Amino acid sequence: MKSFILIPDSFKGTMSSTEICGIMAEAIKAHIPDACVRGIPVADGGEGTVEAFLAAVGGERRECSVTGPRFEKVSSFYGVLSDGRTAVVEMSAAAGLPLMEGRLDVLGGTTFGVGELILEAVRGGAKQVIIGLGGSATNDGGCGAAAALGVVFRDGEGRSFIPTGGTLSSVASVQSCGLARELKDVRITAMCDIDNPLYGERGAAYVFAPQKGASRETVPLLDAGLRHLHDTVKRCLGADRAQDRGAGAAGGMGYGLAALLGAELKMGIDVVLDAVGFDELLRGADCVFTGEGKIDSQSLGGKVVIGVSRRAKKFGVPVIAVVGDVGDDIGGAYDEGVSAVFPINRVAVPYSEARLRARGDLRLTVEDVVRLIKAVEERRSDIRSLS
């Protein structure tokens, strides 16, 4: 084996995907110096998504000023990939929790700046916009972003306004005829790794709003607002996207992008694989290394390891998953294309200690795997020479 693709998820709270790629590459090169190694960092749609894409395929980061989650101006950015036609936007760069500076306001927070980022990217020449939906501080159903792009929301008195989580129930009508002309023929794709619907017990408000400062009393109000928004949008525009997989992502941003802007909601790893041309890379690969902090039954829903393995399986390329920990019931991973799973924990210690030695343990584990690969290859070569 000479050609390796490295495409791990981050080990949350321990190592970034970029860092893991570097460690894996060093471990492989230590034993196969002439190996061709391609590292593809993966981000989950939150902070670091732009940098991960730029590291994987090249491009540039562009700075700009947009409206923050509290309607104040903030410094922000987006990425333009090497093709010059694809832009990557982190919604957290305009409506993320860090921008609240510790003063959470899920009732009054807006995604208006996310729409401004999209418009900046499109005016800069982008024909496809990839939006990461992680780390949001808002619960406005994506109305702020839509308003920035020309969608008009009116209250019962016919006055236009920008809805927030606390005012969604005031939306009496929605008009999309004023949508920015620059968006024509632009494809919008949202990275979404959850399957929650817009509202209800598994919806945006009940599941995620408490993390954004919502009280027990506030959550039902936010949920009612999202329900009302859906009913109004369905009546005015005919869009029925509340139950879509991921509609409840990022305070209903998934719903807003789909229902108001016609975006496609896709699993984050599939967006990454398409953007880097993963299928084509597989044609010349001998082996894929992937991984995540812990592989368990939840991983089978289609996160990084499984998403990578499903693609590789089509091309018959073996996949080695190097993980921080292994949970129960992972048998299905092998059916999806995972060839083998190797945990990096080399001694039985608590997580608080294991995370401190994770980098060294990762390298040693990958080196062990490569040693095995090399030994098998050498044995095969010996057998061929004797025959």
The answer, yes or no, to whether residue 361 has pLDDT greater than 90, is: yes
Under the banding of pLDDT at 50, 70 and 90, the label for residue 161 is very high
Q: What is the pLDDT of residues 182-214, one digit of tens each?
A: 999 999 999 988 889 999 999 999 999 999 999
Report whether pLDDT(139) > 80. yes
Identify the band that residue 303 occupies on the pLDDT scale cut at 50, 70 and 90. Answer: confident
Percent of the chain with pLDDT over 70: 99
Domains, the chain, with CATH or none: 3-40+277-386 (3.40.50.10350), 49-268 (3.90.1510.10)
- pLDDT tens digits for 69-96? 999 999 999 999 999 999 999 999 999 9
Give the chain's mean pLDDT.
94
pLDDT at 169: 98
- The predicted structure's pLDDT at residue 328: 85
Q: Average the pLDDT over 121-134 and give the result.
A: 96
Q: Name the nearest CA neighbour of 137 among 90, 196, 170.
A: 90
Residue of 22, 2, 1 lying closest to 10 (CA atoms): 22
Q: Which residues of 243-278 are buried (b: 16+ CB within 10 A; e: fewer)?
A: ebebbbbbbbbbbbbbbbbebebbbbbbbbbebbeb
Phi, psi of 127, deg, nearest 5: -110, -10
- Tell me: pLDDT of 387 over 80: no
Least confident of 34-48, 72-86, 146-160: 34-48
At residue 102 the predicted structure's pLDDT band, cuts being 50, 70 and 90, is: confident
**Where does the chain show beta strands of DSSP type E?**
3-6, 36-39, 59-67, 73-81, 86-90, 128-132, 152-154, 173-175, 187-191, 264-266, 287-290, 294-295, 319-323, 325-326, 338-343
